[in-house]
Amino acid sequence: MAISSAFRRLLALCLFGAVLVLGINATAQADEVERVAAVVNDQVITLRDLEMRIRMVLLSSNQPDTVENRSRVASQVLHRLVDEYLQLQAAQREKISVSDADVENGFATIEQQNNMPRGAMVRLLDSKGIDPETMRQQIRAEIAWARVVRRVMAANIKVGEEEVDARLQTIKENMGKPEYLAAEIFLPIDNPAHRGEVQALASKLIDEMRQGAPFPALARQFSQTGGGSGGDLGWVSQGMLDDKIMSALAGTEPGHLAVVALPDGIHILLLRQKRIVGAGKPEPTFDLGVVSLTTLPSASPAERQEQEDHLRKAVAAEKSCDNYPSDLKSLPSADWRRPGKLKPSEIPHDILELIEGLPVMQLSKPLVTPDARRYYVICEREDPQPGGLPSRDEIRQRLEDEHLEVEARRYLRDLRRSAFVEIRL
């Protein structure tokens, strides 16, 4: 059974009641929060689930936790929770699992992105009365969905040489023209009847960002695509995105927002930088990995050195970063991440200083933080092509990612249409 029209009609009415419940005194709230807020196929979203996520969204977007603000975001938050349940159910059908270690690594990544020491996010959520499990649920759904997309759709996506040739020709034609480093919050419109509701949400998000709410945090909570990366689109030039989006970016100054309404949804754009294609010095691409060694405050210098020696010995003869997870099993305090392919201009200065001139597959000196020492490794290095053009492999990867994003959006829309979703507030 598809999502019924009752879901949409009841949502506004029911959420008003939900917000009142979420704003009442603690004693009464304890009796109410386990009520069922929604049914998604054979699973339930409780009122407590909704409350915790609303509070986390307000915290991450720097908004006061008031009844008015809760009411403003409640509809979209419940919509996102429904999507997460559908994504996790799809993963379960594909027998795709996400381990607790995967989730904790995701937690650590968010902390690093926000320059927070290990464990600080949990402490922050606890201090605000937010169950950290709500963030774990979101991280688990993001990881599971990425794996579903790769398993279900990647095999069907074939980027031929003609498509690579066409994109390469577009890039050549754009030499000497502007390109834009942009980020996006995409709000889908699955039904034209809901366009007004989505436009209203877009206006609210723009107002919040103009009042200081961080773009990446809102992208993570509200964007249909790219939320996990803060909505980053990377560098784009003419022919890579819809013409209306490119025109909007061309008319926007760095640091400012633009909004584009298309049939598929509302695109809120943030222009970070603007430059001329081919004008700058061509950059290599680094496929980076990072090992974080948790350091106890009481550890002596000798113990710290012993820990580092153990790490370097474990990976000394390694030829591929693919083997790092197994190499590091003997180091319980080691956490391995692979941020992916980055150009020097995209890497923080303190990290860039550590890896400049570093041979491939050699650990860097440590970057010391309050709770850990981080060692970087260049898994692979790709030097720029003559004329500053990307390699064919880079173009093919970009095209595959674009196709995957379109297919993932379509697949989630199909899941919504075939699901049974009911509001029970």
Q: Where are the domains of the chain?
A: 5-154+418-423, 177-276, 285-382
CATH class, range 5-154+418-423: mainly alpha
This prediction has a pTM of 0.69
Three-state DSSP state, 143? helix
CB burial of residue 13 (10 Å; 0-12, 13-18, 19+): exposed
5-154+418-423 and 177-276 in the same fold: no
Instruction: Give residue 388's pLDDT.
Output: 64
Q: What is the CATH number of domain 285-382?
A: 3.10.50.40
Instruction: Give residue 188's pLDDT.
Output: 85
Which residue in this structure is represented by tokens 């009442």? 24
Instruction: Give residue 8's pLDDT.
Output: 41
Instruction: Give residue 7's pLDDT.
Output: 39
pLDDT in tens for each of the 425 residues of the chain?
A: 444 433 343 344 344 444 444 554 444 455 545 789 899 999 999 999 999 999 998 888 878 888 888 887 888 889 889 999 999 999 999 999 998 888 888 888 788 777 777 788 899 999 999 999 999 999 999 999 989 988 888 878 889 999 999 998 988 888 888 999 999 999 988 778 878 888 888 998 898 888 778 888 888 888 877 656 678 888 888 888 889 999 999 999 999 999 999 988 999 999 998 988 877 667 888 999 999 888 776 778 888 888 889 899 888 888 889 888 888 888 888 888 888 788 887 788 888 889 988 999 999 999 887 667 889 999 999 887 666 677 888 889 889 888 888 888 889 989 999 999 887 76
Domain 177-276 belongs to what architecture? Roll (3.10)
Instruction: Give residue 90's pLDDT.
Output: 96
Instruction: Give residue 191's pLDDT.
Output: 77
Instruction: Give residue 91's pLDDT.
Output: 95
What is the crossing angle of helices 161-173 and 392-418, to 10°?
Answer: 110
State the Cα–Cα distance between residues 244 and 260, nearest whole angstrom.
7
State the Cα–Cα distance between residues 195 and 198, nearest whole angstrom.
5
